[in-house]
Structure 1
């Protein structure tokens, strides 16, 4: 028989598991407490008892996965820097320290399991202010350590340039590893052969490292893109002018229709008023005729006959 403590622990774990699955599926904004209670088969009181709010619950979900991940990452980076000190470290070494622990945890059900990479991809791609703030406040030292290591491995890239390249490249790699399409991509990478995680990561990171090492755009590339932008702006201006002309024509036609409608209403109103006046005059004449009947002069022969009958 389970004790009360064990039961409470099971309830909390079910809530965290349900929240994690929902977060992977619909992100932070799409995850609601009502959905969590339905998925975890608990009531709202249990959620409030263990976490008090959605934000606290989400922090617990992220913390139980990302804290062990970053601990492993830093330990592996320390080992790599000790083995390849200073400028000896390569970009691939730093990339491995960043992603090898994630691949390891994806094969360990007790600390993540198969859905762990999908969770990681959602964390990197979720744009909600809460997730972004949480990552910056909790893992800024980790990001700083890896940024410094990449800078030593890529001294030829200016720091500002390297910063946004890392942000783009690492999110792209995390998105591929976390996506369902990875199962479709692997056969193309492996050509039907069974390859290790190292081989898969090498295939993917090769493209990322190439992007990080790409030379700064030359003047010819910049001029070519500026020409395309100029063509696009011209087309946009012409399209905007055409739409403005159509809108003006439609407004003019609408105004004409309103003017015509007003004129028609005035004509109809005048006709109704004239008809009402004529009807009133006719009615008055009829009433006058009824009130003052016409009296014809008497006939002398009739008067004589009436007088004779009385005598």
Structure 2
């Protein structure tokens, strides 16, 4: 990853990151970004070419170092275990810890960027899918292959679903959101170390769980949950 050294470029990136996280990517105009960064529109066009180019740069600035860690971690596991399956716990730790370090480092974006990352799944799904398929898909494939080897009882399609759940739980769990206070009222959403201690065994247990038997045969009426409950009552 290239290091950002231009002060003007850095101000634009920081302003965009904060505003995207606060108000959303689609609703944040370049005018608002340039106003917060105290630059003119020509500076954005010069450094990034367009709003899409700026969005790419915001994500790359934070995820570039994380990607380097992801790759280094999975390569270390592959070198250590060779053709044998690496422990699932170590694979999950190798994936989660670089993101946790990012979440706890305010200099590198911290919770602001994690909120933006969590927001990206829902607000800009198509853009997010394009971004990950072009720049980060190879990383996810390496971890998926490692998990396939360590979880031979889990069908490939089920593992794909669980990796999606892993990404969502990790991103939301490390974003420092206030939902945790609504659930319990005592846990501190800013406690990243505690979040990691709770998150990793949760993810490992979910990945290891037995796959559902004949999932295509079990149908749910999504229109009324009470029907599902009644269907479980003994005759």
Does the alignment reach a TM-score above 0.5? yes
2:222 is the counterpart of 1:210: no
Query: 2:33 is matched with which residue?
Result: 36
Query: Quick one: which of 223, 229, 244 aligns to 2:221?
Result: 229
2:66 is the counterpart of 1:69: yes
Q: 1:203 to 1:230 in 2, by over 3 A?
A: closer
Pairwise mapping of residues 32-181 of structure 1 onto structure 2 (< 5 A)?
Answer: 32-181=29-178
Q: In terms of Rg, which structure is larger?
A: 1
Q: 1:186 to 1:90 in 2, by over 3 A?
A: farther
- Which deviates more from structure 2 when the two are superposed, residues 112-121 or residues 97-106? 112-121
Task: Give the drift of 1:19.
Answer: 0.7
Q: 1:186 to 1:165 in 2, by over 3 A?
A: farther
Query: 1:200 is matched with which residue?
Result: 195
Deviations 1:16-73 (A, max 9, x none): 1111112222332222212212221222222222222101111111111111110011
Pairwise mapping of residues 279-294 of structure 1 onto structure 2 (< 5 A)?
Answer: none
SS in 1 for 2:212: coil
SS in 2 for 1:115: helix
Tell me the TM-score normalized by structure 1.
0.61
SS in 1 for 2:26: helix
SS in 1 for 2:170: helix
SS in 2 for 1:28: coil
CA-atom RMSD, angstroms? Answer: 3.1
Q: 1:107 to 1:65 in 2, by over 3 A?
A: same
Deviations 1:184-214 (A, max 9, x none): 479549xxxxx883x5323112222222222
Tell me the TM-score normalized by structure 2.
0.78
Instruction: Structure 2 unaligned segments of length 5 or more: list them.
Output: 228-235
Residue pair 2:153, 2:210 contacting (<8 A) in 1 also: no
Q: 1:141 to 1:218 in 2, by over 3 A?
A: closer
Instruction: Structure 1 unaligned segments of length 5 or more: list them.
Output: 1-7, 190-194, 236-311
Q: Matched residues in 1 for 2:187 and 2:106: separation?
A: 27
Q: Which runs of 4+ in 1 moved over 4 A?
A: 185-189, 230-233
Residue pair 1:103, 1:117 contacting (<8 A) in 2 also: no
Residue pair 1:24, 1:118 contacting (<8 A) in 2 also: yes
Q: Matched residues in 2 for 1:132 and 1:22: separation?
A: 21
Task: Give the drift of 1:158.
Answer: 0.7
Q: Which has the higher contact order (CA 8 A, sep 6+)?
A: 2
